[in-house]
Amino acid sequence: MSSRAVGSLGLLLFLLPWAAMTGAIDVLACADMVRQVKASSWPTVQGTITRSEVETVRSKGIKYEPKLAYTYSVDGQSYEGSKYRFATFRSSDSGYADDVVARAPLGASVPVYYRPGQPLEALLQPGLGSLELFLLMMLMPFNLVAFWLGTMVVRGWKPQPPLLSTFFREDGSECVTLNGPWPINRVFVALGCAALGCFVLGSATGALTAPLPVGVAAWGVIIACGVFAGRWTQVRLKSGHYDLRLHTQARSLSLPPFSQRKQRLDIQWRDVRSLQVETKVRQHKGRPVTSYQPTLELSTADGGERQEDIASFSSQEEAEALASWLRTHLKVGEAATGERRSA
């Protein structure tokens, strides 16, 4: 079994419980949304609020939750309910709880919607609202992680792509795309960040109890962010922003932005003395992470030398493949010669 398949199997073992957990929560959330919509057609009776307060729960900080109780009668039989909506929400911000309690003050007479044939099931506010849409925003980052893990698992079982894939542009340059992000990754990140931001902002501004158009507008913002991120990434890829370009006629090498190099850098072949693959080890969460960076040794105008990193790879084979391709074209080795090559 290849190392890619082994890594894919490890991701699969993590994906299965993650997907099961998020899927179960998604099913419950969608079921509540369906029940909220159906409740709009339920019969109503007048009820009386017997409890209306904000409950403070101390669990990993202070959380606030609205607590309601009301009595109502159906066909002469008395019942007691406690649901405001099917979805419940507990937050570190008391705004949502305060708003619910203000809408149902103690002793108030309110319409109670009950399920036909099962009058024990009742609530005060039927219909789809912003709360359900904002709760879906909270779930979106978890679902996106599951989708991303799934794509990585599938990718791991596909045939190994070529270590180096070159192509020609209209100007005759031979190119390799370096460290170019997948558009889908950028879309996922944009969607997740926008959803989380809208949810936090909505919780802080009381939008969870706002009319439905507010939640719909927030989802419009999230979708727009995803579309923009995908289009922006595609445009940059198509324009060659991440391409290393080798101009044979001009005998020049153009490096894309990387790390501390914020702008594209053009280098004359005659200034390249050598090319080596350097091994870099850094600590990430207490564990060593190894990367491989093809690095040019360049001659400077004052007769000195400097190094320029081309890109970073997690695979040594990919780094060596790029280095070998460049050495063949630039006619340099791993160690610099004593003489500066002429054009």
Residue 11, in any domain of the structure = yes
Q: Which residues of 20-38 are buried (b: 16+ CB within 10 A; e: fewer)?
A: eebeeebeebeebbebbee
Q: Where are the beta strands (DSSP E) in 129-229?
A: 167-168, 174-177
Q: Are residue 156 and residue 233 in the same domain, yes or no?
A: yes
Domain boundary among 181, 204, 238: 238
Classify residue 14: in a domain, yes or no: yes
What number of helices (H) and strands (E) belong to the chain?
6, 13
User: Are 169 and 245 contacting, i.e. CB atoms less than 8 angstroms apart?
Assistant: yes
2 pLDDT band (50/70/90 cuts)? Answer: low
Statement to judge: residues 196 and 100 lie in one domain? no
**Do 272 and 227 have their domain in common?**
no
61 and 210 co-located in one domain: no
Whole-number average pLDDT of the chain: 89
Claim to verify: residue 216 and residue 137 sit in the same structural domain: yes
Q: Are residues 121 and 149 in the same domain?
A: no
Same domain, 158 and 18: yes
Q: Which residues contact 158 (CB under 8 A, 6 or more apart)?
A: none
Pairing outcome for strands 174-177 and 167-168: antiparallel
> Is residue 274 assigned to a domain?
yes
Confidence class for position 3, pLDDT limits 50, 70, 90: low
Mean pLDDT of 58-74: 90
Among residues 85, 102, 126, which one ends one of the domains? 126
- Shared-domain flag, residues 145 and 229: yes
Same domain, 224 and 307: no
Q: What is the predicted pLDDT for the residue at 339?
A: 44
Alpha carbons 59 and 226: distance in angstroms, whole number: 34
In tens, the pLDDT along 151-189 reads: 888 887 777 778 889 999 988 999 999 876 788 889 999
What is the reported pLDDT for 343?
Answer: 39
Is 214 a member of any domain? yes
> Can you give the pLDDT at residue 342?
42
Query: In this structure, what token pair is assigned to residue 64?
Result: 């606030």
Total structural domains within the chain: 3
Type of residue at 77: Q
pLDDT digits (tens, 9 = 90+) for 94-142: 888 898 999 999 999 999 999 999 999 999 999 998 889 999 999 999 9
Task: Establish if 29 belongs to a structural domain.
Answer: no
Structural domain for 226, as ranges? 3-22+131-238
**What percent of the chain stands above pLDDT 90?**
64
Among 279, 342, 267, 273, which residue's Cα sits nearest to residue 313? Answer: 279
Domain-located, residue 150: yes
Last residue of a domain, one of 71, 101, 126: 126
Residue that wins the pLDDT comparison between 15 and 7: 15
Task: Supply 57's token pair.
Answer: 């729960």
Mean per-residue pLDDT, 306-318:
92
Same domain for 168 and 301: no
Task: Give the integer Cα–Cα distance in Å for 326 and 275.
Answer: 8
The answer to whether position 343 is within a domain reads: no
Would you state the structure tokens that stand for residue 1, as one six-digit string? 């079994």
Q: Is the dihedral of CA 32, 33, 35, 40 positive or negative?
A: positive
Name beta bridge partners: 244: 176
Is residue 337 situated within a structural domain? no
pTM of the model: 0.78
- Cβ atoms within 10 A of the Cβ of 75, count? 6
Same domain, 229 and 188: yes
Domain identity same for 228 and 141: yes
Q: Tokens 């409950």, residue?
A: 55
